[in-house]
Chain A
């Protein structure tokens, strides 16, 4: 970015001699997943960006600004999609944005190594009749694979400007912007290169004539709507049906005729024809010269090897956790020292208000900082690396059959692993799954995943005061519980499972800026969600404490805590406090009995407390996001299931463990 010097151009903003027909416009980046759109976006906008959600949609929206030759350019990074067939939120968001917001130009980013498949999407963009610039990215990787693309030929075949880039190194980006600016200033009509077979084309025309005569209020071109209706696009059909149902019945007739002629559903006819054209363009513009197999391919062979693949997958996951907790431990040490001035006050001496503000609100902030900085950020950093390099895709490939046992497919591994850092963003990321049922199943499994806070609890109680093997044992126990509960949940929610359809991207060294941005975006959304709950939650609990409510409640819980679980009475207080955040159990315990916890608890009690603490409730923040994503009912069922599991497993261990310890 610095090399390109986009920011320097800002000066020209005040240059009165500079004239331009337009001094502010919008560029949208669109294309398949993992083609390097985010890299281009980062290179163009630098630090000038806002990441948020599309209004009312659970799809991430990234927006940024760029100053170029006196013009202020808004850049929108649209989600990565393969088609406009409205099966996912991402597709709907992209489509509606392009149709309704009408960006001045769309830059379609393509992966040079997979030209044909990427062109399929380009053709759909061209059908939407938006000013288009085609950006062929990662040409260096393609060249390594022996794929040489002819820029001129491609440009000629498509009839829109084509630019080659290697975005990670900033190559070609200046030219890309220049062409995009030119395309935005003098919008040329996008050539209609997609002509379907005569019998299809005739029907598209006849339908689009009918649509234009009915004058619908939809913001799409008539031809495009006609194509989509014939393709049986549920969104468009639904919207048109509201206004003029006769269009749909006429379209059904036409689609039937097409199916009659081709003996294929009409969507298949059109998809095939588009692909035929994509193939024609791609094979006309590229040459495959055979060079030796690149390193990434050889690495790929190991990563998905029927035996070695499991080792490498396990290594990736274990490595991620080890890295997180080694770094986390180190950083936490430093931070705890920094926060050593923070000592909870005793409300009996200081008064309730101070206790609520200091112990509660400020304590919540301290707790949040000491969790997020040392544990969550390092976790996100490495996870983002694993994701962007394509390693995670390989792990998902290897683990698909295991995930099937709990009704999910390989892709669901990504949220589940995210759950090891913190459940909240993990549940958020279940959006990548196809159906609500799958998202629920995944979210349910995630609430059992040993997040950073749970790990701290296990380490703080069991590893230190029993031994490290029991701590590891609890980790394994947790995995078994995830599996069993996943199975039960699967049996309880009948329905079809969606199969895995996932692109195996070329393995590559990810861009550092993308990793940083992604980590920051994730951390930020976590902070927004978690911090208020930490602060308010611990203040409320302190208030209860100061009002003397906790003790009676704790006594009331005695039949469970003492009777069933064999814990001391004050465990009730610990569990209430821990609902805000799991390691509060540990912190409060320390404030009760001092740092040598072994004075208060025996090994069985340590283990049982760790198990119960780990399982009994998702923390408040997790419950909050469950409610937000799935509603009250689902959230309470999941919470209830957690609670029941904790009692059953905890009770069982309380009875059995004394024989072993």
Chain B
């Protein structure tokens, strides 16, 4: 991001909630929903949403609610990623009690640097979900695979650089949306198998169907149709190829 303005913890908390809710509901997040989630009076939430709108993090329209912009999404997914990585760390390594993990991670997430985030991800061996099974978003460093991140261990994240585009998982692609594969999380063998079937970095994919009960995803790539198990598909990240009106709809309301 060009503007290196410091973002207050408060803003991060708001964006995190909007991110979480909009991924679940796929529609604008209402003031009352945010107020419930953050335990803040609706009046103050409205105030804050207006402020966030002005600073370009969300699109806010009074009665409808808030939708993350590309810029907001970037911050939100990053802080969500840090939160969920920390949850994993507190759970897997420090073995904290489960009910304490969330609030602990909420405190730590704002202070965690990008380098520490990356190191944590490597230490935990690239987890793809937090202890509550919510997905951990992909990192925003310029890597095509976890393999590459490991190989370039000696370079810190400033040297690596960060992506301009937001990454979303293939499973969050809506109908009629096309994504360019940009990052595949996971081990070498899976990536290899995906590549043999045509899912290489840079390939265009679209979702044909998502089976219910966390079933597989049918994607179209290079003129062929593939079924990918949810565990594999959720680790294939794409940049959305913009058709139109992304800014109107916001970044997380697809389809």
Contacts and interface: CB of A to CB of B under 8 A. Distances in A.
B36 interface: no
B211 A275 contact: no
A279 B229 contact: no
A275 B198 CA distance: 7
B145 interface: yes
B198 to A, nearest CB: 5
A497 B201 CA distance: 24
Nearest to B186: A499
A377 interface: no
Given A120-B198, A501-B229, A114 B216 contact: no
A628 to B, nearest CB: 27
Interface stretch (A20-28, A81-89, A317-325): A81-89
A271 interface: yes
Interface in A102-128: 113-117, 120
Nearest to A267: B192
Contacts of B227: 393, 396-397, 400, 410, 500-504
Interface in B192-240: 192-198, 200-203, 209-216, 218, 221-232
Contacts of B188: 265
B191 interface: yes
B2 to A, nearest CB: 23
B216 A397 contact: yes
A87 B193 contact: yes
A331 to B, nearest CB: 36
A289 interface: no
Contact of B223 (A85, A114, A271, A410): A114
Contacts of A265: 145, 147-148, 151, 188, 191
Q: Give the interface size bracket for A toward B.
A: 35 or more
Q: Give the interface size bracket for B toward A.
A: 35 or more
A42 interface: no
Given A268-B145, A397-B211, A402-B213, A113 B223 contact: yes
Contacts of A387: none
A272 B194 CA distance: 12
Nearest to A120: B198
Interface string A389-421: 000010011101110100001100000000000
Contacts of A85: 192, 196
A263 interface: yes
A501 B211 contact: no
B202 A272 contact: yes
Interface in B147-166: 147-148, 151-152
B224 A503 contact: yes
Given A116-B223, A259-B148, A271 B230 contact: no
Contact of B226 (A263, A404, A502): A502
Contacts of B231: 497, 499
Contacts of B214: 401, 404
B196 A309 contact: no
A502 B217 CA distance: 10
Nearest to B152: A263
A306 B190 CA distance: 27
A122 to B, nearest CB: 13
B193 A263 contact: no
A264 interface: yes
B200 A268 contact: yes
A116 B197 CA distance: 11
Given A306-B211, A409-B229, A501-B226, A271 B196 contact: yes
B151 A259 contact: yes
Given A114-B223, A265-B148, A504-B218, A82 B191 contact: no
B189 interface: yes
Contacts of A259: 148, 151
A401 B215 contact: yes
A165 interface: no
B112 to A, nearest CB: 25
A606 to B, nearest CB: 37
Contacts of A278: 222
Contacts of A429: none
B144 interface: yes
B211 A398 contact: yes
Interface string B127-147: 000000000000000111101
B232 A500 contact: yes
B44 to A, nearest CB: 40
Given A400-B211, A409-B229, A500-B229, A264 B145 contact: yes
A304 interface: yes
A82 B209 CA distance: 23
Interface string B88-121: 0000000000000000000000000000000000
A275 B191 CA distance: 15
Counting chain A CB atoms within 10 Å of each CB, which of B145, B191, B215 scores highest? B215
Contacts of B210: 306
Nearest to A396: B227
Given A400-B211, A400-B216, A499 B226 contact: no
Contacts of A117: 197-198, 221-224
B229 A499 contact: yes
Contacts of B216: 397, 400-401, 410, 500, 502
Given A113-B223, A401-B215, A500-B228, A264 B201 contact: yes
Nearest to B189: A87
Nearest to B235: A499
Contacts of A116: 198, 222-224
Nearest to A405: B213
Contact of A271 (B152, B189, B200, B213): B200
Interface string A493-530: 00001011111100000000000000000000000000
Contacts of A503: 197, 224-227
Given A501-B197, A503-B197, A275 B229 contact: no
Contacts of B202: 272
Contact of B190 (A115, A263, A309, A499): A499
A502 B194 CA distance: 10
A87 B192 contact: yes
A459 B114 CA distance: 66
B193 A501 contact: yes
Counting chain B CB atoms within 10 Å of each CB, which of A268, A279, A309, A402 scores highest? A268
B229 A114 contact: no
Interface string B176-193: 000000000000111111
B223 A115 contact: yes
Given A117-B223, A504-B218, 6 more contacts: A87-B189, A114-B223, A259-B148, A397-B211, A397-B216, A499-B230
13 contacts: A85-B196, A116-B224, A120-B198, A259-B151, A267-B195, A272-B195, A397-B215, A404-B229, A409-B229, A501-B194, A501-B229, A503-B197, A503-B227
Interface of A: 82-83, 85, 87, 113-117, 120, 259, 263-265, 267-268, 271-272, 275, 278-279, 282, 304, 306, 309, 393, 396-398, 400-402, 404, 409-410, 497, 499-504
Ordered nearest first, which 5 A-B pairs have the shortest CB separation? A499-B229, A500-B229, A499-B232, A83-B196, A401-B215
Interface of B: 142-145, 147-148, 151-152, 188-198, 200-203, 209-216, 218, 221-232
